[in-house]
Structure 1
């Protein structure tokens, strides 16, 4: 007997994820439509495997603070950037789709100004995507297929930088986007600082740290 369930009948608890196998591209599109745009869950799809994740409160706090610190660095460096948050990036030709925790167009910022509908067969993928607590190969495979050049993964107190090298990600010590500025070291330092002093104080202190580092 085949049992068919609708997504509204399934609860995914915060910090957990649901894996669905043998999902066609049409079914993936239907899932996105049923879930809607205004939701907390994130999805990742790669060649028939679909994951639906529900972030935990800790996950969301880390995502927001890391994203805010990236914005601070970009502004202090006077780099143009366009934020695309957890936009759904997908390409049917690659059978891949993913929703980052947050992401930015930096190198390609100018051509993305004013764009509210994306088509990755024409538009570039985001230049930098950030994921918190990556636990599956589905997400990474989707990022590779979509050609996202730089991916940051935060978890377990570590912030790893991966740069796309044709068909795989290679871990780097520093972010090529930010040159010699020790951004990863600084973000980790002020994430820890935020645990005792709060996010607002941490953001202000991080901005001062960036300015002092740039002045050296």
Structure 2
């Protein structure tokens, strides 16, 4: 007996792994579940992961995304945030949905595009993952060539940069090399829990201007 997708329930904070999933099956699952779902779906060489985030996961995602946007605005750098857009490449047998992602150096290349095709378009310059309930796997991001990946576990920020096709942990961001973000981002996320979002964003913008 075969299971239908609508029979599978993944509780918040949990993940479901399916092995031996073909590319066509992956495409069918994406199509059947649609874009308005809460779950995020990642794929790498036959392994499919379905994750349903917790509310605290979403809080971290939104706050860090807002801090990155504020930083780019203060630096007067054009960017495009594509949030949890599905990025996939059949030739690489990889697909990923980041918690948030940004085109920065390559913003002009994809400006105005309604669909991103990684067979011809570049991948995002920065992807952000909130690893509160599960730890992000590097494989699909490496395969797709995402040059920088941040992982936040609820307390600390880990920056990984792509070198020779593999991620290497770094103390600085390639996109924002002049700022000590490994320390600053977690501090401002924690500050937002005490003084609120608006006060935190004002303080962060002042910090960027004065740095």
User: Scaled by the length of structure 2, what TM-score is found?
Assistant: 0.96
Partner residue in 1 for 2:102: 104
CA deviation map 1:124-161 (0-9, x unaligned)? 00000000007346x31000000000000000411000
Question: Could you give the per-residue CA deviations for residues 51-110 of structure 1, whole angstroms, max 9, x where no partner exists?
Answer: 000010000000000000000001111111111110000000010000000000000001
Q: Indicate the residue corresponding to 1:37 in structure 2.
A: 35
- Aligned-pair CA distance for 1:20: 0.6
Q: 1:22 aligns with which of 20, 23, 43?
A: 20
Matched, 1:190 2:188: yes
* SS of residue in 2 equivalent to 1:186: helix
Name the structure 2 match of 1:81: 79
Q: Which residue of 2 aligns with 1:68?
A: 66
Aligned to 1:179: 177
Deviation per residue, 1:151-196 (Å, 9 max, x gap): 0000041100000112210000010111212223221111111121
For residues 190 and 172 of structure 1, the distance between their equivalents in structure 2, rounded to whole angstroms, comes to 20
Aligned to 1:94: 92
| Number of residue pairs aligned between Structure 1 and Structure 2 | 210
| Structure 1 runs not aligned, ≥5 long | none
| SS of residue matched to 2:60 | helix
Q: Identify the residue that residue 159 of structure 2 maps to in structure 1.
A: 161
In the alignment, what sits opposite 1:114? 112
For structure 2, list consecutive stretches of 5 or more residues without a partner in the other structure.
none
Please give the secondary structure, in 1, of the residue aligned with 2:175: helix
Is the contact between residue 156 and residue 182 of structure 2 (CA under 8 Å) also seen in structure 1? no
Q: Distance in 1 between matches of 2:112 and 2:79?
A: 12
**Alpha carbon RMSD of aligned pairs, Å?**
1.2
Instruction: Report SS of the residue matched to 2:20.
Output: coil
Match of 2:44 in 1: 46
